[in-house]
Structure 1
Amino acid sequence: MATKLTAVALDTLPEGIHKDHVVPGLSFHVGKKRRTWVLRYLGQGGRQATDKLGNFVPRAPEGSLSMGLASARERAQEILARVEAGVPVAQEKVAHPKDALTLGQLFNAYEKMKRAKATKGLKSLDEALRTVRRCCADYIDLPAHAFSKADLKAARDKAAAGLRKKGSPQMADRFMDYLSPILNWAAKEDHIDLNLVSVTHKVGPGLVKRKRVLSEAEIRKVWAATFKLDSSPEARVYGRLIRFLLCVPQRKMEAATIRHGDIIDGQWRIREEDTKSSREHRLKLPALALEQLGTGKADELCFPGKFEGKTLGGFSKFKTALDELSGVVGWRQHDLRRSATTWMQEMTGEDDMPAIPQEVVSAIMNHAIKGADAHYLHATLAKPKARALELWCTELDRIIKAGGNVIPYTNLPSGY
């Protein structure tokens, strides 16, 4: 007499096929290595059909893909109901719980896909993967589909609290920003059901829009203090970088990675793969900005780090020193971009009308055009951008010199 299937018995049933007495056609197949749920039924046209519903793993951890008796019956009844209603049944590929992709393997698969396609965003890929692997270290061996919203929030909060002494609300938000496209890809590939980042709050400054704009006096103090950063060659390079960012409101790392060969006839070309927006960007630089770049061979960095061929690092250390020297606190390096563009907006002509149109300011920042206009407006605005930067640097020069006793920015010793 056949043994009735029970949830408790699944662990110890001998090899063979064990039919369920509740759902017709459902059976539990016990092999030497695997235990599988199978449903046989008459499909469309009276043809015999066989569906593999899932696998059972004894003592499987919570959240695994192991299918118990109740889940197998529920799935089988769903299929039989569709057959009864004459609705086609789409067979789904079933992964064994032991074959399920772990979160770490998911990150590896994403990296392999990105590098194979050689698409946009490769410049930030290494940093993104380092961050998500570090922040998800406690879950790296967990099946990706079992990574829950509670797990994500715990990883986020740990990053915000001080993971490896590098944590901060800003780090937590950066982790979420880096993880989101990975989970979005994984959901589209059916490795997981949902991009959890899309339904989870951030905790850091990403929720609060920054409004810090340096005043005229603060700009003057910061500019002057950059010349006092003389503790090392790298500190002097950092000072030049800050002055350049005041002249040309671009992102810090876009500026920090400039090579002399990127500047041709005074025009700076930022390649598509080197921009956050993944759009090529060209800017005609004013003399004041060019003076901050120094000179060198085409393949040499304009803002070199301590080691040959490496970009400048240690920004936090140099920023702290700059705050002490300038007496200006409570600002971030990215606030230079907001400050310069806001000052551009404020500039007016003799008729008190804006001297620089807003769309030109947006173009200087390489922001995308929104809405329907994006389909029709494709001008690069090369000349308006050049004129705007020239006007801004003229105004910046006035601000710098307005306080008197300002260190001149021409004819400086090497390294400044």
Structure 2
Amino acid sequence: MASSDQPPIKLTKRVVDALAPTDKDRVIFDAELPGFGLKITPSGRKVFLVQYRYPPGRTGRIRRYTIGAYGESLTPDQARNIAVQVKGKLAHGIDPVTQRELLHAEAARAAQEKKRTMAITVEAIATTFVARHAKPRLRSWREYERMLRDYVLPDWGSRPITEIQRSDVATLLDAIEERRSAALADHVLAVIRKLFNWHAARDERFHSPLVKGMTRTSHTARARDRVLSDAEIRALWQSLQQIPYPFGPFVQLLLLTAQRRDEVAHMRWREIDRDLWTIPRERYKNGRANTVPLTEEVQSILAALPRSGEYVFSTIGRTPISGFSKAKAGIDRTSGVTGWRLHDLRRTARSLMSRAGISGEIAERVLGHTIPGVAGIYDRHDYVLEKRDALQKLAAEITRIVA
């Protein structure tokens, strides 16, 4: 304990400023308030304190309650007022040091609990889910991320995931159904279910509140069957011919190649080798590379496109195109064809191939669908010639309809 050989002196600002450090800690006590003092370290640091015995009396243990360091935020008068409060606690049988330790321990526990709670908020869990599960395993991870960001996190983000009840889910889905559609509510529910199941597999304390029967539409109603008619294809194609790069030719390629929206949107020039476009496995839905033969019609469209970067379709040259909803709305206005979505072009192309006499197996291979059964496991033929024939017949069917 620091030396206190110097006799008490009233601790004022002038006195405290004049006190110089020595080669060891020393304490100067106040002449007016017993126990109130100032410790000076060899480095020159000056700290106000209260020294007392607890329990009171000669047999009590000497304890020191640190008030704080002398400076602009703590003057001698302010420190003396705090010392009076400390001594008041002693008069009521309270040990100030023990009380402070208990308060610090409680604050530490509260901070730890807050940290634990923050770690299990829906936003924290969703961020980890996207990074550790969706992004490495799901080609559609961006859609999961968007659904969570747009529809789930605004209401639930700051809440612990353990607090989400079945009624919260119902309320959220009700709002989405009223503002948008029942189909979108079911889509969001599917993402929430995936998130909850993933977290439940990692934390035994969490039990998903979801149950069967929470969907808003039947399986049959959710299955889309929209196929554009010949008249709609004709009107759409004529409109697309007038819509400039990138969206006009982009939608044309969706129909001519029968590939998914994002596969065409992320198409890179380096993936094209003469009349073959190879979509790498890391960005194909079934995890396998898919080779798409390019018909003369597709090659003609590609030859007319600008090359401003690595992406075939881009608005700024550095990233693939986006803003599909806005572009689609413009196409609807121009063509007069409504009530469809870009994915319906893929179903339309599949139907046109069947009309053109293409076998179901070859048409499915063009679409990149996994072939079930033994054929899907053991048949490693690339079917490039067969797919080229199918896409040529698809292009001829589209040409016939447009003409």
Q: Which range, TM-score by smaller chain? A: 0.5 to 0.7
- Whether the 8 Å CA contact 2:118–2:160 is kept in 1: the answer is no
Alpha-carbon distance, 1:328 to partner:
2.3
Residues 172 and 387 of structure 1: CA distance in aligned 2, closer, same or farther (over 3 Å): same
Distance 1:98 1:318 in 2: 42
Alignment of 1:228-267 (within 5 A): 228-229=242-243, 233=244, 236-267=245-276
Query: Which residue number in structure 1 is paired with residue 283 of structure 2?
Result: 274
- In structure 1, the partner of 2:320 is 311
Summarize the Cα distance change of 1:370–1:153 in structure 2 as closer, same or farther, 3 Å threshold: farther
* In 2: Cα distance, 1:155 partner to 1:228 partner: 41
SS of residue paired to 1:292: helix
* 285, 288, 302: which one aligns with 2:297: 288
* Residues 276 and 228 of structure 1: CA distance in aligned 2, closer, same or farther (over 3 Å): same
**Cα contact 1:259–1:302 (8 A) shared by 2:** yes
Shift of the 318–108 alpha-carbon distance from structure 1 to 2, 3 Å rule, reads closer
Give the secondary-structure state (helix, strand or coil) at the position aligned to 2:137.
Answer: coil
Tell me which residue corresponds to 2:165.
148
String of CA shifts for 1:80-110, please: whole Å, max 9, x gaps: xxxxxxxxxxxxxxxx985872222211332
Instruction: For 2:401 and 2:157, locate their aligned partners in 1 and report how far apart those are by CA, in whole Å.
Output: 52
Please name the residue that 1:369 is paired with. Answer: 371
Q: CA separation of 1:392/1:98 partners in 2, compared to 1, >3 Å: closer, same or farther?
A: closer
Partners of 2:230 and 2:401 within 8 A in 1: yes
Equivalent residue letter for 2:312: C
Deviates more, 1:251-260 or 1:375-384: 375-384
- Where structure 1 has 5 or more consecutive residues not aligned to the other structure, the ranges are 1-31, 35-56, 58-65, 67-95, 348-354, 402-416
Give percent identity, aligned residues only.
26
Q: How far off its partner does 1:344 sit? A: 0.7
User: Who is 1:106 aligned against?
Assistant: 125
Whether the 8 Å contact between 1:172 and 1:204 is mirrored in structure 2 is: no
State the partner residue of 1:391. Answer: 393
Work out whether 1:158 is the aligned partner of 2:175: yes
Q: 1:370 to 1:297 in 2, by over 3 A?
A: same
Structure 1 letter corresponding to 2:196: L
Contact (CA 8 Å) 2:258, 2:349: kept in 1 or not?
yes
The 1:324–1:108 alpha-carbon spacing in structure 2 relative to 1, beyond 3 Å, is closer
Shift of 1:127: 4.1
2:222 maps to 1:212:
no
The answer to whether 1:182 aligns with 2:183 is no
Equivalence map 1:321-332=2 (5 Å): 321-332=330-341
What is the CA distance between 1:191 and its match in structure 2?
5.2
- Alignment of 1:301 with 2:314, yes or no, is no
2:148 counterpart letter in structure 1: V
- Give the direction of change, closer, same or farther, for the CA distance of 1:239–1:373 in structure 2 (3 Å limit): same
CA deviation vs aligned residue, 1:58-85 (integer Å, no higher than 9, x gap): xxxxxxxx9xxxxxxxxxxxxxxxxxxx
Q: Is the 8 A contact 2:266 2:313 kept in 1?
A: yes
- What aligned pairs does 1:56-135 form with structure 2 within 5 A after superposition? 101-114=120-133, 119-121=136-138, 124-135=140-151
Residues 123-148 of structure 1 show CA distances to partners (whole Å, capped at 9, x for unaligned) of 54344224214322322233323322
Query: Once the 2 structures are TM-superposed, how far is the Cα of residue 297 of structure 1 from its aligned partner?
Result: 4.7
Match of 1:282, SS state, is strand
* Cα 1:149–1:390 shift into 2, 3 Å: same
Whether the 8 Å CA contact 1:170–1:205 is kept in 2: the answer is no
The SS at the match of 2:246 is: helix
Q: Which amino acid aligns with 2:199?
A: A
Give the TM-score, by structure 2 length.
Answer: 0.64
SS of the residue aligned with 2:198? Answer: helix
Contact 1:303–1:312 under 8 Å retained in 2: yes
Higher fraction of helix: 2
SS in 2 for 1:172: helix
Aligned counterparts of 1:275 and 1:196: Cα–Cα separation in 2: 33
Is contact 2:241–2:248 with CA below 8 Å preserved after alignment?
A: yes
TM-score norm. by structure 1 comes to: 0.62
Whether contact under 8 Å (1:228, 1:325) holds in the other structure is: no
Alpha-carbon spacing, 1:100–1:400, altered in 2? closer, same or farther (3 Å) = closer
Q: How does 1:347-358 map to 2 (within 5 A)?
A: 347=356, 355-358=357-360
Residue in 2 that maps onto 1:20 = none
Cα deviation 1:273-324 (Å, max 9, x = unaligned): 222333321111111122222445595322212x332322332333233223
Which amino acid letter does the alignment assign opposite residue 303 of structure 1? F
Residue 155 of structure 1: how far off its partner (Å): 1.9
Contact 1:180–1:198 (CA<8 Å) still a contact in 2? no
Q: 1:113 & 1:196 partners in 2: Cα distance?
A: 23
Distance 2:374 2:314 in 1: 42
SS at match of 2:277: strand
Structure 2 residue runs without a partner (length 5+): 1-104
Q: Report deviation, 1:382.
A: 2.0
1:242-277 superposed Cα distances (whole Å, 9 cap, x missing partner) = 211121111112111112111112111112222233
Tell which structure's C-alpha radius of gyration is larger.
2
Q: Which runs of 4+ in 1 moved over 6 A?
A: none
Query: Which amino acid is the alignment partner of residue 300 of structure 1?
Result: E
The number of residues matched between the two structures is 294
